[in-house]
């Protein structure tokens, strides 16, 4: 996500710093295959007077075709046909914006009252609208201000308006519901309960445990988030604050993004928190959210962020969003997460003395890197996860080399030795194996962390450092605020290098065995252990 797999599982504290950090699942997370994708990326144009330029949403080639559903037919779950999450997302419409309102009563074990409003374009004629939503009670639904019937099917909320919606029409869906912070028995994610409130961790497929949505990164949208909480609590969300209203013994905070965002990157923090503010490069507003009682102890870490942003800008170009900061949660998550403009970290990562300083700082840069790779440029499908995690791991490793002398070559040589084992266990970087039942974050394996960073290392060896740096800058510039695929990356790499890299990158991204490393003929991969036949 990192998570620490960098997006999903942090390794145990290290007593002595290894030459290369632990495996990714002992460490972090994120996407890749060009298969099953179609259509152009989201433009990410900001809405004008309430709605934005219609974007051509990527509907996967294997997506369920949507025809008019007869009103008498039973409701059924749909999906956009993602290879790893077949029922995630929904065809038939393109979300322009979400307006989320949550009311927190002061008890993080009780459901929040919520209202979700979705503005969207229809991309086909619809008699029904499927939304992803699976962990709350729905009280009422309206479509364009008119009451609509609704039912559940699988993890979908199926809405039936009182009249069909023509293709190309603008629609507004309003859902009054609860949002339950207590995890379902068979899955985690969505709300994270902290010692003093709540935070969110929606990656990869659990934003719909928090609010109704089109829960797939191919459909990015603008967000407005309102949170009402009793006196004594502070609420912070993605984007910039636009309003604070106090009424009686409660306060309502409103935040709004200035760039489109995938549902899995939404963040809301509610806690007995302090918001610390400072300036980053070019006057960028930087705000951190910390437990008030830990403010002084955490400040030495927080003040490093502006310089880390400048370090990343020197390598890939301007920071892509309106603000950045760190949310330090008093919770045991086992991961860190690059929620857009406000990355989620476990507080213990910064207070556990067994973690070396260089290691903690490199994880901070890992999550920061995701703001470019994964947040601004989002994966078109979850098979494109390697583009997120491989790049974040790459810059994490470069930072550790620059600041602590942890050489990139040593880390990549160690990754090369393990690469065949990672491919056997989790699939090649751009064709990860599907998640295990009930363990959706199991797609965040070493093959998409250091295994994917190894692909980038091989590419740099092949085309040279100068062309590689040009490619990195062009990638985040050309696809800013949009979505992109592995095929897009291969095409751009070929264009920048001036030669067809399709065959070279295909082997690195999709082969069962790790190809020979350019410039390092002596590097050897350790074969996976044979599985006994029983």
User: What per-residue confidence (pLDDT) applies to 440?
Assistant: 64
| Positive or negative torsion for Cα 414, 419, 425, 431 | positive
Do 305 and 237 have their domain in common?
yes
Tokens 């007995």 belong to which residue?
272
DSSP 280-333: -GGG-EEEEEEEGGGHHHHHHHHTTHHHHHHHHHHHH-S--SS-B-EEEESS--
- Is residue 391 located within the same domain as residue 282? no
Residue 166 located in a structural domain = yes
Q: What is the pLDDT of residues 129-159, one digit of tens each?
A: 999 999 999 999 999 999 999 999 999 999 9
**Domain annotation covers residue 437:** yes
275 and 311 share one domain = yes
Phi, psi of 502 (to 5 degrees): -55, -50
Distance CA(79)–CA(449), nearest Å, equals 27
- Residue 439 has what pLDDT? 64
Provide mean pLDDT across the span 2-29.
Answer: 37
Mean pLDDT of 165-183: 96
pLDDT grade for 442, boundaries at 50, 70 and 90: confident
How many Å apart are CA 438 and CA 436, to the nearest integer?
6
Mean pLDDT of the chain: 87
Helix (H, G, I), strand (E, B) or coil at 339: coil
Residues 394 and 502 in one domain: yes
Could you tell me the pLDDT band of residue 526, with boundaries at 50, 70 and 90? Answer: confident
Residue 6 has pLDDT above 60, yes or no: no
Residues 214 and 321 in one domain: yes
Instruction: Report how many domains make up the chain.
Output: 2
Predicted confidence at residue 188, as pLDDT, reads: 72
Q: Which is nearest to 409 in space by CA: 526, 523, 525?
A: 523
Specify the range with the lowest mean pLDDT, choosing from 21-25, 106-110, 200-204, 428-432: 21-25
Could you tell me if 185 and 308 lie in one domain? Answer: yes
CATH label of the domain that carries residue 112: 2.60.40.1730
48 pLDDT higher than 70: no
Percent of the chain scoring above 90 in pLDDT: 79
Q: Which range is most confident: 42-51, 383-392, 436-445?
A: 383-392
Q: What is the pTM of this model?
A: 0.86
Q: Convert 225-253 to b/e letters by CB count within 10 Å (16 or more is b).
A: bbbbbeeebbbbbbbbbeeeeeeeebbbb
What is the per-residue pLDDT across 272-293, written as a single tens digit (0 to 9) for each? Answer: 999 999 999 999 999 999 999 9
**For 98, phi and psi rounded to 5 degrees?**
-115, 140
* Cα 324 to Cα 309: distance, rounded to the nearest angstrom: 9
Q: Which residue has the tokens 């960073």?
A: 453
Q: Is residue 178 part of a domain?
A: yes
Residue 82 lies in a domain: no
- pLDDT surpassing 90 at residue 304: yes
What's the length of the chain?
534
Residue 60 in any domain: the answer is no
Q: Is there a domain that residue 85 lies in?
A: no
* Statement to judge: residues 221 and 124 lie in one domain: yes
Please identify, among 354, 370, 404, the residue that sits at the C-terminal boundary of a domain. Answer: 354
Please give the residue range of the domain that contains residue 123.
Answer: 93-354
Quote the pLDDT of residue 438.
63
Task: Give the whole-angstrom CA distance, residue 260 versus residue 42.
Answer: 9
């Amino acid at each position: 996500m990192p998570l620490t797999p960098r997006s999903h599982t942090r390794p145990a504290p290290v007593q002595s710093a290894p030459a290369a950090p632990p495996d990714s699942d002992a460490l972090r997370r994120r996407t890749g295959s060009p298969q099953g994708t179609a259509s152009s990326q989201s433009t990410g144009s900001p809405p004008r007077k309430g709605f934005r330029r219609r974007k051509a949403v990527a509907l996967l080639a294997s997506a369920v075709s949507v025809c008019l559903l007869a009103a008498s037919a039973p409701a059924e779950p749909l999906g956009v046909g993602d290879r790893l999450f077949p029922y995630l997302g929904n065809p038939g419409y393109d979300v322009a914006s979400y307006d989320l309102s949550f009311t927190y009563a002061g008890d993080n074990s009780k459901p929040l009252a919520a209202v979700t409003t979705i503005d969207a374009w229809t991309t086909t004629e619809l008699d029904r609208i499927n939304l992803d939503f699976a962990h709350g009670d729905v009280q009422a639904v309206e479509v364009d201000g008119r009451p609509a019937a609704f039912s559940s099917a699988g993890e979908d909320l199926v809405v039936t308006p009182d009249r069909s919606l023509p293709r190309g029409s603008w629609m507004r869906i309003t859902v009054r519901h609860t949002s339950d912070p207590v995890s379902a028995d068979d899955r985690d994610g969505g709300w994270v309960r902290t010692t003093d409130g709540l935070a969110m961790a929606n990656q990869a497929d659990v934003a719909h445990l928090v609010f109704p949505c089109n829960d797939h990164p191919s459909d990015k949208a603008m967000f407005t988030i309102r949170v009402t909480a009793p006196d004594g609590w502070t609420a912070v969300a993605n984007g910039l604050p636009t309003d604070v209203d106090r009424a009686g013994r409660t306060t309502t905070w409103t935040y709004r993004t200035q760039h489109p965002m995938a549902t899995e990157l939404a963040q809301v923090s509610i806690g007995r928190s302090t918001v610390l503010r400072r300036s980053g490069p070019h006057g960028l507003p930087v705000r951190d959210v910390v437990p008030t009682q830990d403010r002084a102890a955490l400040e030495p870490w927080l003040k490093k962020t502006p310089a880390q942003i400048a370090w990343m800008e020197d390598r890939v170009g301007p920071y892509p969003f309106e603000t950045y900061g760190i949310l330090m949660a008093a919770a045991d998550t086992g991961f860190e997460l690059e929620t857009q403009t406000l990355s989620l970290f476990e507080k213990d990562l910064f207070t556990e003395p067994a973690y070396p300083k260089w290691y903690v700082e490199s994880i901070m840069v890992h999550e920061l890197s995701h703001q470019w790779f994964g947040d601004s440029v989002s994966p078109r499908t979850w098979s494109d996860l390697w583009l997120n995690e491989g790049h974040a791991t790459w810059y994490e490793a470069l930072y550790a080399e620059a600041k602590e002398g942890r050489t990139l070559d040593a880390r990549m040589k160690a990754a090369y030795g393990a690469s065949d084992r990672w491919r056997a266990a989790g699939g090649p970087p751009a064709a990860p194996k599907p998640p295990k039942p009930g363990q959706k974050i199991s797609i965040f394996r070493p093959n998409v962390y250091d295994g994917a960073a190894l692909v980038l290392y091989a590419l740099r060896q092949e085309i040279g450092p100068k062309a590689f740096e040009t490619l990195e800058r062009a990638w985040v510039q050309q696809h800013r605020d949009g979505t992109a695929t592995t095929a897009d990356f291969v095409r751009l790499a070929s264009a920048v290098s001036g030669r067809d890299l399709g065959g070279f990158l295909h082997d690195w991204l999709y082969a069962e065995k790790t190809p020979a490393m350019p410039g390092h003929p002596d590097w050897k991969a350790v074969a996976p252990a044979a599985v006994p036949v029983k």
